[in-house]
């Protein structure tokens, strides 16, 4: 994802973009993304999620954002797709009412790259919310 792609995303009909990258990641360009989103008239939501120190509040923040009709359709991204896949799977279970197996099956290629620690975090989050 590049800041230049935001205008294309807006033209394609996306109403919001969620960036899960930390500002300290090489190439994250958070401020540049925010400015490009403003110029394109698209909502930019930055929810920095660091896999090495997962924070359940970040999932809560994402679920609140994705549940808002004004943010739909939403483009969700990170650096390589792993965090975005995990967040999307949690959304499928928490909001869409999918089973965990169905949510994971939707993302077979990307979800297989989730570290055991990140997978345990996601499962714990779902368990704490009575979804597993």
Residue 59, CA distances (Å) to 3, 15, 32, 129 in order: 24, 20, 24, 12
Q: What is the pLDDT of residues 112-125, one digit of tens each?
A: 677 788 889 999 99
pLDDT-based confidence at residue 93 (cuts at 50, 70, 90): very high
User: How does DSSP classify residue 95?
Assistant: T
C-alpha pair distances (Å), 109 with each of 57, 81, 82, 86, 122: 26, 10, 10, 12, 17
**According to the model, what pLDDT value does residue 81 have?**
85
Output the CATH code of domain 5-128. Answer: 3.90.190.10
3-class DSSP state of 46: strand
The confidence score (pLDDT) of residue 119 equals: 85
Domain boundaries, the chain: 5-128
Distance CA 14, CA 8 (A): 9
- Assess whether pLDDT exceeds 90 at residue 127: yes
Q: Are 18 and 77 in contact (CB under 8 A)?
A: yes
- Whether the pTM exceeds 0.75: the reply is yes
| pLDDT at residue 112 in the model | 63
| 43-54 tens-digit pLDDT | 999 999 998 899
> Does residue 107 surpass a pLDDT of 80?
no
What is the spatial distance between Cα 91 and Cα 68, in angstroms, rounded to a whole number? 13
- β 74-77/43-46 pair status: unpaired
């Amino acid at each position: 994802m590049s800041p230049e792609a935001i205008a294309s995303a807006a033209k394609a009909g996306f109403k919001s973009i969620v960036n899960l990258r930390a500002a300290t990641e090489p190439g994250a360009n958070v401020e540049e993304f925010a400015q490009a989103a403003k110029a394109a008239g698209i909502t930019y939501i930055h929810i920095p999620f660091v896999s090495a120190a997962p924070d359940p509040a970040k999932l809560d923040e994402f679920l609140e954002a994705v549940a808002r009709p004004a943010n739909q359709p939403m483009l969700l991204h990170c650096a390589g797709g792993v965090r975005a896949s995990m967040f999307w799977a949690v959304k499928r279970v928490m909001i869409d009412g999918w089973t965990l197996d169905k949510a994971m099956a939707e993302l077979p290629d990307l979800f297989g790259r989730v570290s055991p620690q990140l997978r345990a975090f996601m499962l714990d989050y779902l368990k704490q919310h009575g979804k597993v």
